[in-house]
Structure 1
Amino acid sequence: MDYQVIHSIAGRLRILVSRLASDSEYANNLKCSVESIAFVTNVRVNPLAKSLIVIYDKNQLKDSLILEQIISLIRDEQRLKLITQATKKQITNLPLESRSEINYLEKLGLPVLSLVLALLATPLFELTIPAFVVGGVILLSAVPLYQKAIHSLTEERHLTVNVLESMWVTLHTLQGELTAPALSILMNESSETLREMTASESHRSHLEFVDVSRLYWVERDGNKTEVALSDLQVGDCIIVSAGDRIPVDGKAIQGTALLDQQVLTGESQLISCEVGQIVYASTLLVRGQLFILAEKVGKNTKAGQAFQLIENAPVYDSRIADYAEEISNQAVLPAMCLGAGIFAFTGDVHRAIAPLQLDFGVGIGLSVPTAILSALQYAAKTGVYIRNGRALEMLAKVDTIVFDKTGTLTEVKGEIVGIEILAPEVNAEKILSLAASAEQFLHHPFAEAISGYVTTKNIKLEACESWDYQVGMGVKAKINQQEILVGKALFLQEAGVEIDVEKLQNQEGVIRNRSLVYVAKNGKLLGYIIYSNPVRKESATVIKILEKAGINTYMLTGDRHQVASAVAYKLGMSMGRVYASATPERKIEILQQLHEQGKVIAFVGEGLNDAAALGYADVSITLTGCSDVARSTADIVLLDNDLRSLNHAINLAKRTMEIVNQNIALVAIPNISVVLAGVLFSLNPVIAVIISNGSTILAELNGLRPLFDEERKDPEIDTSAGRSDEGMLGVGWRKRGKKILSNLPI
């Protein structure tokens, strides 16, 4: 295929593809397929110039990765057709309200017509239009309003502002005051349409994170063929090889493999899989090959159900809006009684109808969700997924944030930082070689850390004659007819290796957020490797900013006290706010204690053992790449895996709630004033409508402000935040010898 990259800058690509000029079907398929790539925001095809222009989110997608994906699509016409079919099928299967554009004619046609007729019938134009015709069109355009009123009376069984407004429109129309009700209906429908437009864009922004371009090998009727993810069916035999993720829930019917369930559970759990075993979608196949009989596909898989919990979560709920609506609804009956009383004493219909216009609950109910939805859409575009309005409101009130440690304040991937030799017959290189050889087929953090380290040091690996891995404990391998054990102290002790754990764990290296992995040969301890999950480079800066803003930070972790204290000290956290060796039940107890102190709590975690705490907190936050359980439980997901997104989300939440409060004032004050003016001074109903409904539209426009915010600007990483390792030596949480880590051979 003839192609050439003509222009490339961060966020934008222009590629010359000669076939675009002569093959319109190919051009359409290529455009559709490129659009399906996650984080691609715009695709244009210019057949005359033979060019493909791609705009993408440079903060989410690397230049090299997007170019690689596009070139692979340009070269593979068959794949283009499959992806295009899958994309069209997915769009077709979306709920109607999710994929349909707003029908402006249907929503606004009658209201506009009724207002035009009402204006033409005024003395200003002197057109002879029968009043019953204009009134009939007005009442017809009010049908949606009547339907809401009937629903509230028959289904909800209580009076709402929709009942009040229905009475106001009907009475004014019957009185011959045609312009005011027509204008009121049009402005109300315009307000709702404005909110629906915002909601539509918000939903579309979430769909951008779904990648439908993945293809899988499937064996059907004895033939192997590539099938798109959306076309996989129950009963298909799907072939999954090393490095691929399993796309379905099903049963292994052929082959053996080693599976990594980290994406599913949040923990690096490696399990062996044989014929007859049940496997789950999103599990990574590390080694081997499996033929899987699909039993559940798509949204019916465990992973799909977790994703649906996020997609189907309500986005409109807002405690403030609910509270305002409740107050407004409670005012319905008094307003009706007031109107009846005014008519009984004065006989003035205009003044009697005025209290029926007390509908600030509707205005708040429209403008507040507009502000919330605008903020949710802006958040998604800037790297933060916020589930709903309640989460946004609570985040603005948070005064305490509790962090998990591993994978949240620290990096998931570890690094080798030292080695201690305990047997004279070996050197550091030999210990590293044995450990890396035994771990070479594994993918947990230590295995990846040591594999990467020995590669940079050009240390040769040895062949394993056999090996057996115990999840979370260690690995036993046979190398050159020698039994090699690599793992935790308990794992080696159970195998009969003598280890003075108390003495070895008193080393300074352990205190500095270091963990020890022991290596033994034929029952004799050779030494130990020190590795670390380093703190995230932005963690100390985030903690400093939060504390400066008056938000207290805590750490809850299942890790031991020494490691937890070391991390907290380095990050500048208060040592009195660190809770180590915390089980999931203990985490809930601590959160309950903080709640009893009157604190509003956000919990930030990413693993399976954090799910209970995430569910209990006022606001639950997790990072992308976490377990499905955590993601389905969390209110907020930091999509760019950067804790500075947390500061961004809090600032956005506070600013949004300021806008919400402004909207409440913009709606409530004019509405109450209009009612008082109508009762006391018989205010012209047209003026009343303009003031009342105009304030609602003004509030909605104010609610759109988050959409026009500048691009997100994260604070620079503050190298002075936190504390130094040297200062850590003076912390008296445990007495130990001051062995200098830099002296360890490595």
Structure 2
Amino acid sequence: MLVNHQIPGRIRFTPGSAAALEAATRALEAAPALRGQALDITYSPRTRRALLLLRADEALTALAVDILLAQAQPPAPDPGLPALAEDACCQPAVCRRTPPGAECLLPGVCQADRQRGALEHPVLIIARKVANFYLRRLFMPMWLRPWWLAWQVAPLLLGGLRSLARGRLDVAVLDAAAIGSSLALRDFNTAGTIFLLLDISETLEEWTREKSRGNIAAMLRGEDRPAWVLRQGQPVRIPAGELQAGDLVIVKSGLAIPVDGVVADGTAMVNQSSMTGEPLAVRKAVGHEVLAGTVVEEGDLTILAEGVGDHTRLAQIAQVITESESMRAEVHSQAVRMADRIVPFSFILAGLVFAVTRNVRQAAAVLLADYSCAIKLSTPLAVRAAILEAARRGVLVKGGKHLEALARADAIILDKTGTLTQARPSVVDVCPVGDYSREYILRHAACLEEHFPHPVAEAVVRKAEEEGLDHRERHAEVEYILAHGISSTLDGQRVLLGSRHFVHEDEGVDLDPAEESIRRCAASGHTALYMAIGGQLAGVICIEDPIHPDAPRFMRRLENMGLSRIIMLTGDGEASARRVAEELGIKEYRAGVLPTDKTAIVDELRAAGLTVAMVGDGINDSAALTRADVGVSMKHGADIAREACDVLLTTPRLDGLLDTMAIARRAMRRIRRNYGFIVGSNTLFIALGVAGLISPALLALLHNAGTVLTCAHSMRPVLPRH
């Protein structure tokens, strides 16, 4: 146990381990003099330090320090709560649903659960349906077959009648007419074939829909990690799927909250930006509401569960995203409209054939081989299959319309920091000005920056920790100014920390005293972070932002995609932007841009008739992400950017975006090929049927078999290979 620093009412210390922190907490709570003092202890996984808050009394603070120092030899870890904050694999002794001796496939995900959740192979589904249909007919009395078939097709007939009653002449009416005419002509084989193949087509569509829903929902919710609950006063580790309303759920620092509920015990700082968009963690104490999917940054909570599983707000959001009907591709909507518009022409053509031939069977042939069914089924299947294929490549596409926009994109805007450069910058130099020392600048910059989850802030804090500098929190409340920097008060003087635009242009701080340091930093292509105290420049921190290792290959592939415009944007200075652009061969870039500039550039490109994809990961990119035709964000990006985007890269691979663009383009080509096949094949089938060269049963079989093949072609990217 190490006490880093103390002031009355505030102690920052390094516990060394989770067990030591728990022992110290128990010792503090048990001290008679500290009882009733509403102790508040929070822990930061990033700095591995804890902060104790109590009444601002020197005697009580000294007592608390003595208690902490007495915990230098912490007791052995509590066996009842092993590695609570770690991703240990679930064991049969704890997770009863894992068979004895079976290896856990993923942390907290039992093998039995995964087996139950697997979807049956579509070929097996089709084979089972065909076998059931014909085996039933084979062993069924002849007199019963027509009645059994009528019972089977009744829902289709009723669906057609309901559409007619609403004044609609759509695909449902056409299907009902084809089956009804076959029944009227006592051609039960044809009616049965139509019903079976329509059922198979819809089954393939449902299989693809459920497969994509399952994959996307799993990506949104993350791994089904085990949860800890209090049972008879003791912590018990259970699969998250077994959580029930009324459970007391324990959530330690650094872990996501798995339920919606109310805090029953403890105090913690909770990052709920994934749900509310707030960039900063908020304090949660007894009686406060918490939501699943938010993260405990510091502290521990015991939560009374109210909403679990599919009844949490997170699950509802996931359901909205996976139900992409409201975001379906325009090509999907066009297919639905086209399919319904074709239906009247099928009836008109059937009437003309009957008027010429006076042959009911030849007229019915037109109804048996229509264009609508295949068009309406195959197009959404192709879109869903493409979304699922992208998910397998680590890219989450939040709707069909975004996939189509990505396929049409002919201009792309790339934010430099965190996209083309690594999300882990580092401090390479600290240049003090005047009477300030290097240690003073770095120490107080880290003290300010540790409040914000930003890559540059983390770089400053990490550098201070590497040099063993203690960040005494003597400053007042810290204010974060979007895309500019930080403002606070230290020893009665205003402190600024941020960009040149913020410190010099907005606040009027003279940068001449550090001209040589700034010039050297710019010449090296580094980013400068300026610190001013009392209106005077105090120091400059040089930040190196290394280029992402995948960026060179990514740019070469991007250039080969045939895009009209590729633009890099950055809020950094000209020298830093030029260095990255030259190294990656980017011809068009803009430096020193603000969030409003980014949205203006997006609007400018769209006004020129281009379909724009915007790639960014910061809070200051969120407005441009929503304004672009398709917004793309990175997994490591700010929560608000991940919420605002249309496409989310869930792995560090930049190539995932290009893979998804290629998948989207292939899907659109597949849809166009489907149109050609549907029109050509069904025109041929109708001609053969009208000419009397094939029987109605064979015509129905060929038409519906063609529909199934078209659906299978649409699903080909996601069909199991074995």
User: TM-score scaled by structure 1?
Assistant: 0.69
Deviation at 1:538, TM superposition (A): 1.9
- The match for 1:527 among 507, 515, 539 is 539
- The match for 1:52 among 63, 81, 102 is 102
Secondary structure of the corresponding residue to residue 53 of structure 1: coil
Distance, in Å, in 2 between the alignment partners of 1:523 and 1:596 is 42
Deviation at 1:649, TM superposition (A): 0.7
Letter matched to residue 534 of structure 1: P
Letter matched to residue 417 of structure 1: V
Distance, in Å, in 1 between the alignment partners of 2:180 and 2:643 is 47
Partner of 1:685: 696
Q: Within the alignment, does 1:177 sit opposite 2:175 as a pair?
A: no
Partner of 1:703: 714
Partner of 1:462: 470
Contact 2:527 2:572 in 1 (8 A): no
Alpha-carbon displacement from aligned partner over 1:697-743 (angstroms, at most 9, x marks no partner) = 222332332136999xxxxxxxxxxxxxxxxxxxxxxxxxxxxxxxx
Letter matched to residue 610 of structure 2: K
Contact 1:406 1:533 in 2 (8 A): yes
Contact 2:633 2:649 in 1 (8 A): yes
Contact 2:321 2:399 in 1 (8 A): no
Percent pairwise identity? 26
Alpha-carbon displacement from aligned partner over 1:45-80 (angstroms, at most 9, x marks no partner) = 5x5xxx42355xxxxxxxxxx6xx57xx9xxxxxx9
Greater shift in the superposed pair: 407-416 or 524-533: 524-533
Greater shift in the superposed pair: 247-256 or 606-615: 247-256
Letter matched to residue 188 of structure 1: L
Q: 1:556 to 1:344 in 2, by over 3 A?
A: same
Q: 1:599 to 1:454 in 2, by over 3 A?
A: same
Q: Which aligned pairs between 1:151-162 and structure 2 lie closer than 5 A?
A: 151-155=162-166, 157-162=167-172
Deviation at 1:133, TM superposition (A): 4.2
Letter matched to residue 112 of structure 1: Y
Gaps of 5+ in 2: 1-89
Letter matched to residue 666 of structure 2: R
Distance, in Å, in 2 between the alignment partners of 1:683 and 1:163 is 24
Contact 1:270 1:442 in 2 (8 A): no
- The match for 1:449 among 441, 459, 463 is 459
Deviation at 1:425, TM superposition (A): 7.7
Contact 2:510 2:536 in 1 (8 A): no
Distance, in Å, in 2 between the alignment partners of 1:175 and 1:381 is 49
Distance, in Å, in 2 between the alignment partners of 1:637 and 1:527 is 38
Deviation at 1:640, TM superposition (A): 0.9
Q: Within the alignment, does 1:167 sit opposite 2:189 as a pair?
A: no
Distance, in Å, in 2 between the alignment partners of 1:271 and 1:27 is 37
Gaps of 5+ in 1: 1-24, 34-44, 56-65, 74-79, 121-128, 712-746
Partner of 2:400: 389
RMSD: 4.8
Deviation at 1:355, TM superposition (A): 1.9
Letter matched to residue 182 of structure 2: H
Alpha-carbon displacement from aligned partner over 1:217-249 (angstroms, at most 9, x marks no partner) = 66x999877787667788887665543445567
Partner of 1:641: 652
Deviation at 1:190, TM superposition (A): 1.8
Q: Within the alignment, does 1:488 sit opposite 2:498 as a pair?
A: yes
Distance, in Å, in 1 between the alignment partners of 2:213 and 2:181 is 39
Secondary structure of the corresponding residue to residue 620 of structure 1: strand
Contact 2:518 2:528 in 1 (8 A): no
Contact 2:527 2:573 in 1 (8 A): no
Letter matched to residue 670 of structure 2: I
Letter matched to residue 377 of structure 2: L
Partner of 1:418: 429
Q: 1:27 to 1:509 in 2, by over 3 A?
A: same
Letter matched to residue 516 of structure 1: A
Q: 1:565 to 1:269 in 2, by over 3 A?
A: farther
Q: 1:241 to 1:370 in 2, by over 3 A?
A: closer
Deviation at 1:646, TM superposition (A): 0.5
Partner of 1:203: 213
Q: 1:529 to 1:607 in 2, by over 3 A?
A: closer
Deviation at 1:695, TM superposition (A): 1.4
Letter matched to residue 507 of structure 1: R
Q: Within the alignment, does 1:550 sit opposite 2:550 as a pair?
A: no
Q: 1:590 to 1:224 in 2, by over 3 A?
A: same
Distance, in Å, in 2 between the alignment partners of 1:348 and 1:225 is 76
Secondary structure of the corresponding residue to residue 527 of structure 2: strand
Distance, in Å, in 2 between the alignment partners of 1:393 and 1:501 is 51
Letter matched to residue 623 of structure 1: M
Distance, in Å, in 1 between the alignment partners of 2:302 and 2:137 is 66
Distance, in Å, in 2 between the alignment partners of 1:266 and 1:417 is 32
Contact 1:482 1:521 in 2 (8 A): no
Partner of 1:327: 338
Partner of 1:353: 364
Distance, in Å, in 1 between the alignment partners of 2:93 and 2:130 is 34
Q: Which aligned pairs between 1:627-638 and structure 2 lie closer than 5 A?
A: 627-638=638-649
Q: 1:262 to 1:171 in 2, by over 3 A?
A: closer
Letter matched to residue 562 of structure 2: G
Contact 1:245 1:281 in 2 (8 A): yes
Letter matched to residue 410 of structure 1: T
Partner of 1:660: 671
In the comparison of the two structures, how many residue pairs are matched? 621
Deviation at 1:163, TM superposition (A): 1.5
Deviation at 1:323, TM superposition (A): 2.7
Distance, in Å, in 1 between the alignment partners of 2:194 and 2:331 is 24
Contact 1:115 1:183 in 2 (8 A): no
User: TM-score scaled by structure 2?
Assistant: 0.71
Secondary structure of the corresponding residue to residue 466 of structure 1: coil
Q: 1:453 to 1:162 in 2, by over 3 A?
A: same
Q: Which aligned pairs between 1:220-619 and structure 2 lie closer than 5 A?
A: 242-246=253-257, 258=269, 260=271, 269=280, 282-288=293-299, 303=314, 305-314=316-325, 317-423=328-434, 426=437, 428=438, 431-432=441-442, 435-436=445-446, 443-456=453-466, 459-462=467-470, 464=472, 466-472=474-480, 473-474=485-486, 487-488=497-498, 499-500=510-511, 504=515, 507-510=519-522, 514-518=526-530, 527-551=539-563, 552-556=565-569, 564=577, 566-575=579-588, 577-578=589-590, 580-584=592-596, 586-619=597-630
Contact 2:254 2:295 in 1 (8 A): yes
Alpha-carbon displacement from aligned partner over 1:575-615 (angstroms, at most 9, x marks no partner) = 3x53753435x544433332232222222233444444333
Letter matched to residue 590 of structure 2: V
Deviation at 1:486, TM superposition (A): 7.4
Q: 1:423 to 1:295 in 2, by over 3 A?
A: farther
Q: 1:646 to 1:512 in 2, by over 3 A?
A: farther
Letter matched to residue 185 of structure 2: Q
